[in-house]
Chains A and B, each alone.
Chain A
Amino acid sequence: MKPTDRRAFLGFAGKWVLGAAAAPTLAAFLAGCESMGEVAALGSSIAASQGWISEEQGQSLVRSADAVGKSFQDITPEQEYYIGRTVGAVILQQYRPYAEPAATRYVNLLGQTAARASERPETFGGYHFLILDSDEINAFAAPGGLIFVTRGLLRCCRSEDAAAAVLAHEVAHVHLKHGLRAISASRITNALTIIGAESAKTFGGRDLAKLTSVFEDSVSDVTGTLVNSGYAKSQEYASDADAAVTLRNAGYNPNGLTDMLAVMGRRLDPGGRDFAKTHPSPEARIRKLHPLISGFGPVGAPPARQARFEAAMRNV
């Protein structure tokens, strides 16, 4: 591939990711600044005028709501990490780990390589990968970088480049913070209002209980989206485009993703509870990807790469 093609690809893919990521951000931002602050201001002034809270407390609530108007962007990497740990633990209530050491090691070598080549190589606790013992075609990226992929999905990969594509797509969900975006803005407001409201006192048991309830609800928002409703189609396409950039940076052929999607298209069970339910069809994803990666040839892995892939996947 000529360098000019490569630049054009990265530029085009980058804009695509930006464009697809921008819409929900903008919606969240406008919803945040146009409604949340005003609603808080209105609610606080009513509460203050009725004597339910002091004028000062009312102002503090308005300030807190204004401060969190930017929604999920205000969740620090540390907080994202704690949300992700619990999201992961909840997913593992429904799926058993497949702990075969060689495959687990391989998936972590491949996944962490993809993560480091991505546009968000550093998260609070880093990226870690686990195979799930399920025939379903499924994968989950918990906020912060805990990534789960089923044996069924890995079996859709015929090469290391394809497996790298699966993992790069999940890394993209972490990079683009799709999990965090699933948390309702009002919960984030609640959480940060509780933190803001503790200014006059130490962290009391009642605040901790309230914050824990908001935490539980936030985790439910994320797991509900990951397991049941799925992300918006635009977010899946954006993750495919982002994965293509990561694969290119890492030295893999982005057509690994196309190959994997083609196999998945043949294997998905319509009406299944996996990608058939939560993702756009593989055919649609291939169509969206095509203009971004048409400059790349077919995947032709060197024998050493193919051999280690097959060895690692032997029992998967």
Chain B
Amino acid sequence: MKQPVILICMLWLMAMGPATPAYGATLSVQVKAGDVRSTPSFLGNILAKLPYGARVAATGERGDWIGVAGGGVTGWMHRSALTEKEIVFKAGAADVDQYATSEEISLAGKGFSEEVENAYKSRNPNVDFTWIDRMEAITVSQNEMLRFLQEGQVRP
């Protein structure tokens, strides 16, 4: 009995896609710098970049885009930049204990983190991260992307 119930629940969850935030829900930015756009589209102007852990209120939804208000700005963020969990930066023992049992918080800097990467580097001095850091420094601004599309007559 247990397995078919789990199966049905999973299929339902997968059909629903990522969790849908209720209007008014508070969400957290789960990326280093989350883009807030003027319109619910990758072509929308970037109004602001919100830092990791910033809290925003969900004010609407259109497809994979969530209307947000927070950090002194209102606009649209892509669902992939947001989580329903609260991101805790300086975790105390109680937070860590809650993490093991709760779906509600996420610990920044815990688990696979900069600290672990540094420990890995000490153990593996032959693995060179120079080019990884160089790759990460390559950025493409929204204006550069829009110009690239326009010049190539690429019409999304």
A-to-B contact residues, CB < 8 Å: 18, 22, 25-26, 29-30, 33-34, 60, 63-64, 66-67, 75-79, 82-83, 85-86, 88-90, 92-93, 97, 104-105, 108-110, 112-113, 116-117, 119-126, 128-130, 146, 160, 191-192, 195-196, 198-201, 203, 208-209, 211-212, 215-216, 218-219, 249-252, 302, 304-305, 308
Given contacts A92-B132, A121-B42, A122-B35, 12 further A-B contacts (CB under 8 A): A18-B14, A25-B10, A26-B11, A30-B7, A76-B30, A82-B116, A90-B127, A121-B78, A196-B99, A212-B120, A252-B154, A308-B151
Q: Within 8 Å of chain A (Cβ to Cβ): is B26?
A: no
B131 adjacent to A130 (CB under 8 Å): yes
Q: Within 8 Å of chain A (Cβ to Cβ): is B138?
A: yes
A128 touching B80 in the complex, CB below 8 Å, given contacts A22-B14, A112-B145: no
A116 touching B3 in the complex, CB below 8 Å, given contacts A82-B113, A128-B136, A192-B111: no
> Please, which residue of chain A has its CB at the minimum distance from the CB of B96?
A199
Contacts of A112 in B (CB 8 A): 140, 145
A146 touching B80 in the complex, CB below 8 Å, given contacts A30-B6, A211-B116, A216-B120: no
Number of A-B contacts (CB under 8 A): 192
Question: Which B residues, 2 to 60, have Cβ-Cβ distances below 8 Å to chain A?
Answer: 3, 6-7, 10-11, 14-15, 30-32, 34-35, 42, 52
A251 adjacent to B156 (CB under 8 Å): yes
Compute how far the CA of A30 lies from the CA of B6 in the bound complex, rounded to whole angstroms. Answer: 8
B: interface residue count bin? 35 or more
Contacts of A199 in B (CB 8 A): 93-94, 96-97, 100
Contacts of B78 in A (CB 8 A): 121-122
Question: Within the complex, what minimum Cβ distance (angstroms) separates B80 from chain A?
Answer: 4
B132 adjacent to A89 (CB under 8 Å): yes
B119 adjacent to A191 (CB under 8 Å): no
A63 adjacent to B111 (CB under 8 Å): no
A198 adjacent to B154 (CB under 8 Å): no
B3 adjacent to A34 (CB under 8 Å): yes
A191 touching B135 in the complex, CB below 8 Å, given contacts A122-B34, A216-B123: no
> Please, which residue of chain A has its CB at the minimum distance from the CB of B145?
A113
